[in-house]
Amino acid sequence: MSNRFKALGGVIVVAFTLAIGVNTASATTANFGSIGYPATLSGGTTLQLFTETGELLCLGETSGELAAKSASISLAPKYNACVLGAKATTPTMEGCTYTLVAGTLIFGGSEGWMNVVCPSEKEMKFTAGNCVISIPPTSESGPVTYENEEEAEDRVFARIKVGLKYSMNNKCGPAEGTYKGLFLGLFEIRSSNLAVWVRE
């Protein structure tokens, strides 16, 4: 069983339903589900963004709620430690969250996407000295793959590997502007309700 993160609570998994059209069969759509509702979601998370000025790395936790089986969940990140290159970095979320969409059933899990969702005119900000890197809201960034913890089935891992736009001010080294970098992320998702699983 993975010891990558420590989190309280039970299990969250991706439960699946088969969506069938009137005349033609559609793809199998995936839903997040727990054994009971409402379910409180929690778990560890990492953020890794390769930028023009260096690698941004953050470790932290997420929290959310699941009121019923759903095709998507919203998770609020709280990063406890960040570095940009070798510089200590202060994260400021400004109310931004991640929306994870389960997508389509594949062997052992599902494949979907994520959105960064922020209040109006807000962005995620990461400040290292006078350098500020900002991540604005996004739409349908993917792929994101979801899989159960092997054997124990007591959590879901969401693995993210996407190209993501970000901006930097002129204190970061390269010219001020908007760039695109590789975003790698890992979410460990648990539920306050025990014994959930990935099923069709």
Q: What is the pLDDT of residue 90?
A: 98
Averaged pLDDT score across all residues of the chain: 84
**Highest-confidence segment of 15-19, 33-37, 161-165:** 161-165
Tell me if 200 is assigned to some domain.
Answer: no
* CA 155 to chain centroid: 14
Tell me if 197 is assigned to some domain.
Answer: no
Tell me if 198 is assigned to some domain.
Answer: no
Tell me if 172 is assigned to some domain.
Answer: yes
71 close to 30: Cβ distance less than 8 angstroms: yes
Q: How many domains does the chain have?
A: 1
Tell me if 199 is assigned to some domain.
Answer: no
Q: Give the domain extent around 41.
A: 13-191
Q: What is the pLDDT of residue 11?
A: 47
Give the integer Cα–Cα distance in Å for 139 and 98. 11
Q: What is the pLDDT of residues 56-81, one digit of tens each?
A: 999 999 999 989 889 999 999 999 99
Q: What is the pLDDT of residue 19?
A: 38
Note the pTM of the prediction, 2 decimals.
0.84
Kindly give, in sequence order, each residue whose CB lies less than 8 Å from that of residue 120, ignoring residues fewer than 6 positions away. none
Tell me if 196 is assigned to some domain.
Answer: no
